[in-house]
Amino acid sequence: MCVQGAPANDDCAGAISLTPGTTCSTTSGSLDLATATSGLPVGCESAGTHYDVWYKFVAGSTYERITISGLGVNITSPEIQVYSGSCGTLSSLACGTTSLIYNSFTVGSTYYVRVSNVTTNPTGAAAAGFSICVYHTPPATYDYGKSYVNITRNSTGGTLNPGDTLEIRATLVIRSQSLDSLSFVDTLHNAGGLRLVPGSIILRTNEGKTYKSFTDAFDADAGYYSTSGLDTIIRINIGTGATSTARGSLLSTSKPSVFGATCIIMATYRVVVYAGYNSTVNVGGGKLTIKDPATAISYNLSFVYRNSLVYSSPGLCPNAVSATNAIGGDFNGSFGTPAVSAPLARNRGTSSNVPGYIYNTFSTTGGPNDYYYGIANNTSATYTTVNTWPKTDAHRVFTVWDIIGDHTGATNTAKGNVPCDTTQPVSASNPCGYMLVINSAYKTDTAFQYSVTNLCPNTYYEISAWVRNICSKCSCDSNGVGATSGTAGYIPFAPGDSSGVQPNLAFDINGQDYYTTGNIVHTGSSANMQTGSDSTNAWVKRGFTYLTGGSQTSLTLTIRNNAPGGGGNDWAIDDISLATCLPNMQYSPSLSPIICDSTMITIYDTIRSYFNNYVYYKWQRSTNGGSTWTDVTATMGPATPVWNGTAYQYVTGYIIPTSATNVSNNGDKYRVIVATTSANLSNANCQFTDGVSIITVHIIDCLIPLKVSMISFNGKIIDHYSKLSWTAIEEEDNVTYKVEKSSDGEHFELAGTISGNGGGNTINNSYEWFDPTIMNGKRWYRILMIDREGNKKYSNVIELSEVQASFMLGSVINPFNRELKFDLSTPEDIYIKVQLVDMTGNIVKERNYLVYKGQNTLTLPATGDLVTGTYVLNIRYKDKLFNRIVMKR
């Protein structure tokens, strides 16, 4: 036992000077014969005679290793003791035999070393030589991190849901030297929302493949779980020599090895989520224990607590997403475009939103290495735009990366844009936008972070990004053999090995995980991924929908690398977006209703949204073609949306007064703006409308209104040509029918004229008209009816398209009065039955119609005498019944 304090008789004044260094230079010495009373402190001496010699050195590091070697045969029980202080007042710091490490030196201070032999020396000093070294080796370099993957949603990505299985991963990376006393300890707290999956305690490679599995019990192997009260304790002792009671050690070159130089090991276990929605579960915490043999210092590497929300999200917005992106940094998440003049800058420059990595340019000498990122418009090593080079060619970064362009504005969203030709200006065929490229660090860390402001409270946002795995052959098996190294023995798909680390990202809002992307696979089609994979690999969109709080106007979005690097995990990201999920609007009776001068008309808007919170609204009018808008109603709401099977919807109507239906009002526009709160309705950034589907009124001088009415108006496409059919009643005079058509549903032109068959005949008359021009896309039609005195009346507008129609009940003019008009589309010519049923189940109106393949506008006439109230419009098509609730005013 080494006792602290100065020796009884201090001989340090005659000490030999040593120069410590990282490389040991042999310093020979010999021991003087002395007695036990010559100055060794109690605990370092033994009875009898012994050898005793002193050295001194100036510390070059906070830790030093002191060794003696080449011992003479008479040195049978050597002792090394280190002192601080000055002669006569020494304090003992540490003792050893042939080697010791002390890790609390003060750099630049002088220390003393005493070497002695603590056993009797019967033959004198003739065989008492030795060599002594004072030196320090570099400490180990290592990384560590904790992450998780959602096994249940690992192929498509998703939010955390009750019943999902997660794999918790603690990653240790030894980059140089060695570490010992290695273990991982974690706790699943009672009522914490996570339950251990039996048989899931496993050491894995960085690719997530099983390296060594354990039983759950405390037995001979190094992994097990125990209980502490109601908590579950998971422990894995790691490395060579590890057992259930002993911690092991690993070198930087130990298996599982990455290219023979770095050891990456993951201590993992799996859990099932039993917490309910809107609960948080802790996927952080726990610790790794290590000891650095170079410094003899032990560490507890504790992981911070990290919460993930159990969150129900409909995924990406199933309807519309606004063009306004709240991600203001890095050119709204698109990372920008170079100046248009050639030669173009290949590298954009740094980003303050990538805190976890170091910036590096793409150049002819390489590209971003591990721990680095780049923002480039071409991922080749040599500016080439050819992406068919073999996967061992120097045109590729590290001879393996895909050669691609960015994603922004790509015609084919899966393929993305072509690699930028920096010798040519920016153009539609050479877009040259930038993208963020990450060469993932061995540890898990932050890849992108941005604080978003000016959000709207109580509003759904789609948070998404386009991501691409850019390396198909970056794998390295657990023996350290790379896929493209050409070295024999690579094990690409055997147990414990695969084809590379796949990117896996977590989306975090305000420090809490909401979503993980799952593994982003490389989708190259070539069997060995050596050729042809660039063009068939794909960008994928990953994201979720987030609802802001009732007063929330900002958030911090963090996108974190959720998988360790080393043999893969090289990826590009672009078009990071935080955009509002918009409602859809459908106006009626049409987008361009015909109104007689000084006649009231009620216009309607059906607001549909996958989310039922756009419940505040008001009508607006524009008299200058949509340049400015003024309110024509006060704020209304909250409405009560009703689920229609695919979306929540409600209908609002506005009666345009006679004061606004003069001929001078021709061309006025009307729209509805909606918001999630009444306050949002007054905020230009938080009110929403359909910018395309806006009602434009057409006001005509009808003089004496026509009595003639259409009971049906339909159209269909025959061999790419339009055929219109209509039936009129009450033709008390000769009527001329002028067919008008439009390519946009708003601006119409005369297309044909047909004379009526009436002449006082009051029975039904049917008509047909063929459009002589071939159909191209969509087309809108209406009929203008004119009698011999010039009185006019318009039909409804129908829309025809070459897209195959299914039977569908479209817009219904609701509420109705003297007649009930509705649209439907059908894939065939067929008879249908239409019934109007009151709330007692009595059929109050019934009529059969022949409808034609395509779009049909039908009228159920003579409803003015019905009692005001609620009715059901029933339409029977074959054996199916379609219905809609309607109101009679």
At residue 796, the pLDDT reads: 75
Peptide bond preceding 503 in cis form (omega within 30 of 0): no
Residue with tokens 């539609």: 428
Q: Given 3.30.390.10, 2.40.50.140, 3.40.47.10, 2.60.40.1930, which CATH number is that of 809-889?
A: 2.60.40.1930
Whether the CB-CB separation of 693 and 591 falls below 8 Å is answered with yes
CA 325/CA 323 separation, integer angstroms = 6
Topology, domain 141-309:
Immunoglobulin-like (2.60.40)
Burial of residue 720 (number of CB atoms within 10 Å: 0-12, 13-18, 19+) = exposed
At residue 29, the pLDDT reads: 61
CA 806/CA 778 separation, integer angstroms = 16
Positions of the chain with pLDDT lower than 70, given as ranges: 1-14, 21-51, 118-126, 484-499, 525-532, 701-707, 759-762, 803-805
At residue 27, the pLDDT reads: 61
β pairing state of 50-58 and 16-18: parallel
- Phi, psi for residue 57 in degrees, rounded to 5: -155, 160
- Which amino acid, 310? V
Tokens encoding 735: 């009527």
pTM of the predicted protein model: 0.74
At residue 484, the pLDDT reads: 67
Tokens encoding 608: 């549909």
Per-position b or e across 348-377, b if 16+ CB within 10 A of its CB: beebebbebbeebbbeeeebbebbbbbbbb
CA 520/CA 540 separation, integer angstroms = 8
- The strand pairing partners of 509, in sequence order, are 512, 557
At residue 440, the pLDDT reads: 87
Whether the CB-CB separation of 784 and 724 falls below 8 Å is answered with no
Number of other residues whose CB lies within 10 A of the CB of residue 388? 13
At residue 761, the pLDDT reads: 56
CA 767/CA 756 separation, integer angstroms = 8
Domain residue ranges of the chain, discontinuous segments joined by +: 12-135, 141-309, 313-581, 597-681, 702-803, 809-889
The domains spanning 12-135 and 141-309 adopt the same CATH topology = no
* Residues 259-311 pLDDT 10s: 888 999 999 999 999 999 999 999 999 999 999 999 999 999 999 999 999 99
Whether the CB-CB separation of 537 and 472 falls below 8 Å is answered with yes
* CATH top class, domain 597-681: mainly beta
Indicate the DSSP class of residue 327.
Answer: -
The CATH architecture annotation of domain 313-581 reads: Sandwich (2.60)
DSSP H or E run through 445: strand 445-452
* CATH top class, domain 702-803: mainly beta
CA 658/CA 222 separation, integer angstroms = 86
DSSP 3-state assignment of 639?
A: coil
Peptide bond preceding 589 in cis form (omega within 30 of 0): yes
CA 110/CA 682 separation, integer angstroms = 76
CA 437/CA 372 separation, integer angstroms = 9
Sign for the CA dihedral angle at 352, 353, 354, 360 comes to: negative
72 contact partners, CB below 8 Å, separation of at least 6: 30, 127, 128, 129, 130
Whether the CB-CB separation of 251 and 265 falls below 8 Å is answered with no
The CATH architecture annotation of domain 12-135 reads: Sandwich (2.60)
Query: What are the start-end ranges of the H helices in 278-436?
Result: 329-332
Peptide bond preceding 457 in cis form (omega within 30 of 0): no
